Amino acid sequence: MVLDVAHQLPPSDAHAVWDPQGPYSLRSTLSILQRGPQDPTTRVGASQAWLCFRTTEGPVTLRVSRTEGLHSEVVLQAWGPGAQTAVAQGLRLVGAHDDWSAFEAPAFREIVPPVVAQTRRVNPGLRFPATGRIFDALFPAILEQKVTVIEAHYAWKYLALAVGEVPPAPAPAGMRLPPTPAAVRSLQPWQWHQARVDAKRSSTAVRAAALASSLERWGALALGSKREGVLGAGTIDAALGSIPGIGPWSIAEVLQRTHGAPDHVSVGDYHLAAFVGQVLTGRRVDDAGMLRLLAPYAGHRQRVVRLLGASGVRKQAFGPRLAPMDHRRR
């Protein structure tokens, strides 16, 4: 639940107003940035969201809200040393630059499955956000590798509260800035254990933290851009993939959030391939089968996947639910 404290807010250090000139869903757009209902760094509701993070100028608390009305304006208010930078980059974050025109062109609409076309018609306000913050997306993605959602969200909450700093006022009580790379590298074994994070994920997180400064330079570059650095020459996909422990699933999960990637599919997800296969064909498929089904929609495969997820169709459950693992006594 997002606390409505608009009437109590002090004057912001920076603000901006954006008119989407059409439907816009704040919750659908920004919910991908929230890691569970108790995420200390991000709280998203239907009409407002609070996001706490760092910019090149310092920490910031950002409130994104909507005015009343069907086609209302989006208001960005920011507090803290990073306020000006956050607002300057805010349109990208709220999905203002996400372009669905090719997806909604008549020729493309004719080939998408009916369930996808129908879901888009009832969700015209969905945009893909782009934060530009690589490590803030990579660290929680690492925590989510090969574990249940419940276990991953627990780890993220625990570590954010343990080493995440208090954001600038007036962030709602209990919110934190995401852990810095330095904080992640300083975590002790007992803290990883308390967070229920195994040695493989913690080692991957520490490696990524050591390379964070190089990774962050990719944040403002467009997908497909090439550059040289300590991670070698190539694209952001190649740079991320060069880190031991970071594979296609983690890369897709990061770029969906940092760049609003419309085509990066989370290959290797425990549930996704079976879900996509069930909705599109009535039967479960593996990753290879999922990619074959999505091939006709190249360039927009993640848009198709997100719309399938919003369709209301649920994957059939077979077998016992995976139970969270407790690594504290290992």
Instruction: Read off the pLDDT of residues 59-79 as tens digits, 9 standing for 90 and up.
Output: 999 999 997 765 689 999 999
In a domain, 29, yes or no: yes
75 and 167 together in one domain:
no
User: CATH number for the domain including 76?
Assistant: 3.30.310
* pLDDT above 70 (res 210): yes
pLDDT attached to residue 8: 82
User: CATH number for the domain including 233?
Assistant: 1.10.340.30
Cross-strand pairs, 79: 61
Q: Which residue has the tokens 């869903």?
A: 25
Of 206, 235, 258, at which residue does a domain stop?
258
d(CA 56, CA 79): 14
* pLDDT above 80 (res 6): no
pLDDT attached to residue 230: 66
pLDDT attached to residue 125: 94
In a domain, 129, yes or no: no
In a domain, 328, yes or no: no
More confident residue, 325 or 253: 253
pLDDT attached to residue 234: 86
At residue 318 the predicted structure's pLDDT band, cuts being 50, 70 and 90, is very low
* pLDDT above 60 (res 195): yes
139 and 67 together in one domain:
no
At residue 321 the predicted structure's pLDDT band, cuts being 50, 70 and 90, is very low
pLDDT attached to residue 138: 98
86 and 196 together in one domain:
no
* pLDDT above 90 (res 194): yes
83 and 60 together in one domain:
yes
pLDDT attached to residue 322: 47
d(CA 299, CA 111): 13
67 and 116 together in one domain:
no
240 and 222 together in one domain:
yes
At residue 144 the predicted structure's pLDDT band, cuts being 50, 70 and 90, is very high
Q: What's the pLDDT tens digit per position in 27-52?
A: 999 999 999 999 999 999 999 999 99
At residue 277 the predicted structure's pLDDT band, cuts being 50, 70 and 90, is very high
Q: Compute the average pLDDT of residues 80-98.
A: 97
Domain extent for 239: 134-258
Q: Compute the average pLDDT of residues 288-292.
A: 98
291 and 245 together in one domain:
no
In a domain, 326, yes or no: no
Is the omega angle on the peptide bond into residue 140 within 30 degrees of 0, that is, cis? no
73 and 99 together in one domain:
no
pLDDT attached to residue 226: 87
pLDDT attached to residue 34: 98
Q: Compute the average pLDDT of residues 278-300.
A: 97
3 state SS for the chain: CCCCCHHHCCCCCEEEEECCCCCCCHHHHHHHHCCCCCCCCEEECCCEEEEEEEECCEEEEEEEEECCCCCCCEEEEEECCCHHHHHHCHHHHCCCCCCCCCCCCHHHHCCCCHHHHHHHHHCCCCCCCCCCCHHHHHHHHHHCCCCCHHHHHHHHHHHHHHHCCCCCCCCCCCCCCCCCHHHHHHCCHHHHHHCCCCHHHHHHHHHHHHCHHHHHCCCCCCCCCCEEECCEEECHHHHHHCCCCCCHHHHHHHHHHHCCCCCCCCCCCCCHHHHHHHHHHCCCCCHHHHHHHHHHHCCCHHHHHHHHHCCCCCCCCCCCCCCCCCCCCC
148 and 297 together in one domain:
no
Q: Compute the average pLDDT of residues 96-110.
A: 96
In a domain, 164, yes or no: yes
Of 258, 273, 291, at which residue does a domain stop?
258
67 and 101 together in one domain:
no
In a domain, 327, yes or no: no
Q: How much of the chain exceeds pLDDT 70, in percent?
A: 91
226 and 306 together in one domain:
no
In a domain, 16, yes or no: yes
d(CA 20, CA 95): 10
233 and 282 together in one domain:
no
pLDDT attached to residue 327: 47
**Structural domains counted in the chain:** 3
